[in-house]
Chains A and B, each alone.
Chain A
């Protein structure tokens, strides 16, 4: 079945640094979603991508839909302590199908 890989699994960065993470698939997807999950809470949708090559920003977050349609990237600029959490990607093979979720990247921000 379809599987998503996320890299890195975890990362420790200094406050103020930029962050990059990615999500890769063995299958082509039509939609990529990025979520953030705080401890004990449900995932919150950050950015949705629907077109190969699309670059979308949400504040300090920028995500890109890879041109091969098998990957997506999330960047966080000038990290702050509240960026701490787990970042999940989700891909959808075709419209109307269930999403497939990655295992998450755990981000820690050191003051």
Chain B
């Protein structure tokens, strides 16, 4: 299975953007890049996913490198509610399993 590498932790100030990097140098052509986040004492929730093009939704933006070996999740204006563990995951097209690594713990300072 293709693996991802994320920093263990990141800090941000409230109302500032947060850029969360993810390296996936062994990604294959049909692997989707998924991001989830887990708020304290809750189950993970879906944030965004993409294949090749950059993606935007109401929660975040996903910027995918041209060679697809890395991606960045962008939270445009961090709020205290964005403090969570963020997981970057690769999902193969015909693979129904998602494996979660340790993720990046994001701390937001007021």
- Is the A/B pair a real complex? no
